[in-house]
Amino acid sequence: MSKIIFGTDGWRAVISREFTFDNVRYVAAAATEYFQRVGKGNPVTIGYDRRFLSREYAEEVAQVATAKGLKIILSDDVCSTPAISLETIRRKAVGGVMITASHNPGQYNGIKIKGPFGGPVGSDVTQGIQDRANALLEHGKSPQMLSLEEARKQKRLQFFSPQKRYLDEISSHVDITRIKRLKPRVVVDAMYGSGVGLLAPLLESWGLPTKEIHGETNPSFGGLNPEPIGKNLEPLCRAVKEANADIGFALDGDADRIGVVDHRGEWLTTQDVFALLLMHAVEDLKLTGEVVKTCSSTSMLDKLCRMYGLLLHETPVGFKYVADLMLERNALLGGEESGGYALRGHIPERDGSMAALFILQMMAMRKQPLSNILDSLYRKVGYHAFRRDDLRLPKEKMAEVLDMLKNRPLKTIAGRSVERILTIDGFKFFLSDGSWLLLRPSGTEPLFRVYVEAPSENAVDEILKKAKRRLLR
């Protein structure tokens, strides 16, 4: 019997192995009990992505929840995670449920739990839901269910169409007239996910020449993970050059993360995009406020915040930590290394399409191609190369390495002295040349996530190689 395990952003598992209808019902029952304790009769929103059986899993959640007396507002079609977050706020719902495995491969599906504020709930909530779901699983009695037809008759279920309200919302945050005047040629890679028919039609409605690729139904995501990072974006890079486009955007499986390709067909790292969004907010929009980043995010933000006189917060990896601080501090901008960014005044949740519109607005306000704007960023803070890798180890070796990192911390790495160590999530080593190395043990697999940022690609290669060799030894 496989246990249900929530990670940094919900529960994800392989379809038909751990992610079964039975287990979905147990999670739905546990989440329903939580919503009932805190909800005082408020509804719960439910949405789903384009993965295999996502709609059926969403309906299963609705049938369990309505049988327990909850009022459910269920999306009538595929939608993005940001759209569900927005609808959760708009409906004054007690929370939301999104059926998605985000950027995981096609054999996975998952469940994200949203709070009434639209962002991800905290670890204490997901831990409670996980423990209760596993208790129900061990008990083995399947939760009661109410058919969708009966739930509608009893007025416990209604359907909604989230897309138009969502597009109206993100459009309200940018200067559409300026963007129209620039008239950039855009390619959107929907990566077969929830972004299909979302960003591209919006830009087309503004009169912008826009092409969408990977918009057909493909639950296997064409054999790639729907994650908008360099190794997955070669088709977008080619499409941008073939269309002579000014920019390309890629949205992940549930459209809350973004990848960006410039007019040369070159991918900008997610770290570059985070820094550019801050530069746009402060220099172009004249906004101010605090900034929140995860510990795997770029030190370019540290440099910019010092230049701008802004307070910067660093959190463990996981957007729930970012969302908490954004709400508490009314922060201007929050984000993480994986390509998810949130902006004040919208939702405390990552939103790929919203970030894309801000990038277009920056190009329009500066009247420059994105490559030139990126060069101006580097002139301010210097070039920063970045890479992330995974190091798989046997479980017993994992324990040895963790013991070493805790009790015999590294003093030098690749000939660079360690100046300080941050331990809010794994072990982050700040090095004498301005580089940093982050080692994070996975919570669900026997591996270390290894992150390196340095002033050059060669330095990244050297630090990564030496660090992995040191861990293996």
214-271 pLDDT, tens digit per residue, is: 999 999 998 888 999 999 999 999 999 999 999 999 999 999 999 999 999 999 999 9
Domain boundary among 345, 366, 381: 381
Are residues 389 and 377 part of one domain? no
Are residues 18 and 154 part of one domain? yes
Are residues 418 and 302 part of one domain? no
Per-residue model confidence (pLDDT) at position 446: 76
Average pLDDT rounded to a whole number, residues 195-216: 97
Are residues 188 and 146 part of one domain? no
Per-residue model confidence (pLDDT) at position 2: 75
Q: Domain tally for the chain?
A: 3
Q: What is the 3-state secondary structure (H, E, C) of 407-458?
A: HCCCCEECCEEEEEEECCCCEEEEECCCCEEEEEECCCCCEEEEEEEECCHH
Are residues 254 and 155 part of one domain? no
Are residues 195 and 55 part of one domain? no
Are residues 195 and 69 part of one domain? no
Are residues 62 and 19 part of one domain? yes
Are residues 377 and 266 part of one domain? yes
Are residues 342 and 202 part of one domain? yes
**Could you tell me if residue 240 is inside a domain?**
yes
Domain boundary among 134, 162, 190: 162
Between 352 and 225, the more confident residue is 352
**Could you tell me if residue 167 is inside a domain?**
no
pLDDT in tens, 272-283: 999 999 999 999
Coil, strand or helix at 398:
helix
Per-residue model confidence (pLDDT) at position 151: 97
Q: Tokens 């009314």 label which residue?
A: 330
Domain boundary among 140, 162, 184: 162
pTM over 0.85: yes
Are residues 224 and 140 part of one domain? no
**Could you tell me if residue 168 is inside a domain?**
no
Domain that holds residue 24: 6-162
Per-residue model confidence (pLDDT) at position 444: 64
pLDDT in tens, 93-126: 999 999 999 999 999 999 999 999 999 999 999 9
Are residues 326 and 226 part of one domain? yes
